[in-house]
Amino acid sequence: MIDERTVREMVRRVVLRTVQATADAATTGDSRLVTQQDIESLTAGSAVHVDEEAIVTPLARQTALERGVTVVRGPSAESVAAESGSTDGERTVAVAADHGGFEMKQALAGHLRERGYSVIDCGTHGTESVDYPDLALAAARLVAQGKATAAIIVDGAGIGSCMAANKVPGIRAAMCYDEATAVNSREHNAANVLTLGAGLIGGALARRIVDTWLDTPHGGGRHARRVDKIMDIERRYLKG
């Protein structure tokens, strides 16, 4: 059993390391230092992308928690797209995941590259807890902007990311759990975003769903008329 004196010493060392790192970053003008003032300058409920090695001060973390600001380690989707040279979206797929879908997202990104697709990885870039709406927005926005032809988003169940992505104008996101739903979402609904639940399906099935989804064209005809009606609902509310 660890005694109280040992615990206090451990806490003291952690605090000293944090304070020293913060002081060093401030002295050198390191832009990777995220302070309370940086978080306060952001819109409440927004997300900020910081360097993988960024130092987030304890006050900044507390302020982010209080203001609902999500700190995501890794580059923003826009900067990744710019670096990759993806401007027309041709054969480009955006991928994103929360912490629950991180491992599946990594595997699918590799699979897509093997198939000859360019991949824009919107994050997350590790297993640290993040909020799925932020990642879903990052990927869906690239599709809406024409920087990616499609997006694949993974979270625990695939449902929340689907809801979030569908709030982006121009997006038709579908949560698929087998090859039949993958075909239907493309042929009938012209889905341009696919969401998957890492807690519901395994890696082999996920790859089959992705392949089927990407390889299935929109059916046109009566399906096109119905998709137009779906998008017309969106246009009506945007006008209001």
Domains recognised in the chain with CATH numbers: 4-73 (no CATH), 77-234 (3.40.1400.10)
Residues with catalytic function: 188
Q: What is the pLDDT of residues 100-133, one digit of tens each?
A: 999 999 999 999 999 999 999 999 999 999 999 9
Q: What is the pLDDT of residues 73-98, one digit of tens each?
A: 555 555 555 555 544 456 899 999 99
CB atoms within 10 A of CB 189: 17
- Determine the average pLDDT of the residues in 149-167: 97
Q: At what angle do helices 77-84 and 132-144 cross, to 10 degrees?
A: 40
- Determine the average pLDDT of the residues in 44-73: 73
β-pairing verdict for 55-56 and 33-34: parallel
